[in-house]
Structure 1
């Protein structure tokens, strides 16, 4: 496959998923990504054993989607940046890199000598990229955040999806949900910055915050709220969907599954839909025969559609609705998504060989070049490539051993 980032060197000093996910995207696109992990502790995410009460790995394998997903295709270097002996290695890596990628907080960056001024003093042409919780300015610039707080809770999404009287907040639909979206956003920013550097010679600093990504994801509702002068009303509990269009709604099937309709032009799609579901008579019903009538009697039409959909199973409706012009989808679970016919046809469920030689699967990068799916490789084991990387920097075996003795590298 064509790899537009081939030849680009990325130095990643980051943990967890938000920023490392950006490095994974760049690696998929062909960049050489060196992931710096603390020489003793490694990426803190390696210590997480459960997500949403699910094990992140299985016994007898090093493969763990929590690490392999956002770290695919990288090389791992164990380096203790707080030790003076590690500075030589860090500085040489910075000199050789096109991109510096971090999510460390301001205090840690200053203490470790990896803030913008520190890195730019070594390599003024590097694209310094920072992922943060709440942005580089303002009263929360020094505050850490995860996607559950900065992206989900603060963006308005959690509030909108939590019904009045609920016992708790509606949680994100997946672990690292905002982190993964944010990682792709960062990768896009880096691509633009490298393009600008090639055209103008200026290497801009790239800043992306989880809060900003969350606000961008909910921008339509935020913009409407700002125009309306207050928060938007929430959907009524139990409501199917749009109050004036029965074809923008979610309906329960006979086997307790859900079919989502999203046909924004009701007059265009109503006759075909009615014929497909075996109720062609509804298209001629004077209540629903025009767009105005259908909108005015949307509640009645919705009740009829709900009764019709409830009469067959999910699989039966898939067979019936396949091929109609109007837009619809089954509400899938994660297992079904992993076997989605369109994802599979486009190579977006990718085979990855783990360290033990077994084939595993990961969701592939959604961006394709020349209509060819990315071919990811597994994430690195902790400090797996330390000797290899230090050798590329020109260090002798004796120098590497000295660094290991003092604990500067693993």
Structure 2
């Protein structure tokens, strides 16, 4: 069913690469997470203890995996990792290319011995070029270096970072799709291949609407100060109960519908308000009317009117509201995950589900080295070899 029977070995930290392996684990793959003796850095966020079980940061990227500790700085550790890789369908890593090459764990070093292996390298700026080994996070590469931050932050505001893991999860999904494409190819050729994704490329794709215009015409208008935006009925408006809502017009008749929502039908008789409105002074006048109209309505009242006119809108929800939302629950936004201490907690779900049946989701993330002996025994190592690898 789905990815059951697929074996994945992951040697990665933080979010993008572990997140891609976590999605595959959700979908039924057997995923072995290989960590150093110090463990993945995300274990340090909300540490997992009996008093506070179930680290939500680490669990979100690592639930359902088996945990193995190997010191790949030693020949024995590297040999054990290569043994696991040789028995896997997929290897996923975000270790920097230079380090992998020095350790003999890069794709070119292993491909002849493992011709069926799909080797997924998740990088900041790609596998080649002068910045292949530059340190990167999604906030630096995906958000800032890609042009996304500058395109999205209005010029009259101080720059701000994206939320943690935002670009990582986009990159994780790109990695999953690329791996599955290579897996499909392997059914016909019998051979694996190198798959590469990067934070910068995922960022460029995510901002592709604007980037496409830049590439085609050599310039693009991105986020502007609110007073300079070309549509007076589009964007965010504050209601009487100090809530915000977002409206996106779809067709020219949305202007007429908005004037009815804010009780300004008389505007429709004036030729200068006939859409499309290209005069910026008139646009600002329209925006001021919308601001005034929504300031007289509560969010519930405004929502009822917008729904009646079939306008595309949404309230600006808090995460607490999303977590309590029946709509989000029904849409499958959450899963229940074991905390590893006998309890469970809700967590974000992978962004696809399979209504006609799927493997169960919710096994706990592994404690550091929890399955080392079990996994290495299954790989064929003897007890004394395992003892040597596990010895401090």
1:223-302 map, 5 Å: 223-230=212-219, 232=221, 234-236=223-225, 238-239=226-227, 242-243=229-230, 245-267=231-253, 269-275=254-260, 277=261, 279=263, 281-282=265-266, 284-287=268-271, 290-292=274-276, 297-302=282-287
Q: Which deviates more from structure 2 when the two are superposed, residues 82-91 or residues 25-34?
A: 82-91
Is 1:212 aligned to residue 196 of structure 2? no
Is 1:400 aligned to residue 389 of structure 2? no
Check the 8 A contact 1:352/1:360 in 2, yes or no.
Answer: yes
Check the 8 A contact 1:99/1:127 in 2, yes or no.
Answer: yes
Separation (CA, whole Å) in 1 of partners of 2:341 and 2:224: 49
Q: Which deviates more from structure 2 when the two are superposed, residues 331-340 or residues 369-378?
A: 369-378
Distance 1:398 1:24, change over 3 A: same
Aligned to 1:222: 211
Instruction: For structure 2, list consecutive stretches of 5 or more residues without a partner in the other structure.
Output: none
Distance 1:86 1:362, change over 3 A: same
Separation (CA, whole Å) in 1 of partners of 2:342 and 2:302: 41
Name the SS of the counterpart of 2:112 in structure 1: helix
Is 1:12 aligned to residue 6 of structure 2? no
Aligned to 2:350: 365
Count of aligned pairs between the two proteins: 390
Distance 1:298 1:371, change over 3 A: farther
Q: TM-score when scaled to structure 2? A: 0.90
Separation (CA, whole Å) in 2 of partners of 1:284 and 1:106: 62
Aligned to 1:37: 35
Q: CA deviation at 1:258?
A: 1.0
Separation (CA, whole Å) in 2 of partners of 1:288 and 1:87: 73
Separation (CA, whole Å) in 2 of partners of 1:27 and 1:288: 58
Equivalent residue for 2:104, pick from 93, 110, 113: 113
Q: CA deviation at 1:287?
A: 4.0
Distance 1:81 1:224, change over 3 A: same
Aligned to 2:186: 197
Is 1:100 aligned to residue 97 of structure 2? no
Separation (CA, whole Å) in 2 of partners of 1:223 and 1:229: 9
Q: CA deviation at 1:234?
A: 4.3
Equivalent residue for 1:84, pick from 75, 88, 95: 75
Aligned to 2:328: 343
Aligned to 1:147: 138
Q: Which deviates more from structure 2 when the two are superposed, residues 298-307 or residues 5-14?
A: 298-307
Equivalent residue for 1:125, pick from 101, 113, 116: 116
Q: Which deviates more from structure 2 when the two are superposed, residues 100-109 or residues 218-227?
A: 218-227
Separation (CA, whole Å) in 2 of partners of 1:264 and 1:252: 21
Separation (CA, whole Å) in 1 of partners of 2:49 and 2:249: 43
Check the 8 A contact 2:54/2:338 in 1, yes or no.
Answer: no
Q: CA deviation at 1:177?
A: 0.9
Aligned to 1:74: 65
Name the SS of the counterpart of 2:8 in structure 1: strand
Check the 8 A contact 2:210/2:222 in 1, yes or no.
Answer: no
Separation (CA, whole Å) in 1 of partners of 2:327 and 2:272: 34
Equivalent residue for 2:21, pick from 15, 23, 40: 23
Q: CA deviation at 1:160?
A: 2.7
Q: CA deviation at 1:69?
A: 0.8
Check the 8 A contact 2:333/2:348 in 1, yes or no.
Answer: yes
Separation (CA, whole Å) in 2 of partners of 1:170 and 1:156: 13
Instruction: For structure 1, list consecutive stretches of 5 or more residues without a partner in the other structure.
Output: 50-54
Distance 1:116 1:9, change over 3 A: same
Name the SS of the counterpart of 1:153 in structure 2: helix
Check the 8 A contact 1:73/1:377 in 2, yes or no.
Answer: yes
Equivalent residue for 2:161, pick from 164, 167, 171: 171
What does the per-residue CA deviation read over 1:117-161, in whole Å, with 9 as the maximum and x for residues that have no partner?
A: 232233111001100010112211122211111111111122233
Check the 8 A contact 1:61/1:356 in 2, yes or no.
Answer: no
Aligned-CA RMSD value: 2.6
Name the SS of the counterpart of 1:121 in structure 2: coil
Separation (CA, whole Å) in 2 of partners of 1:21 and 1:139: 27
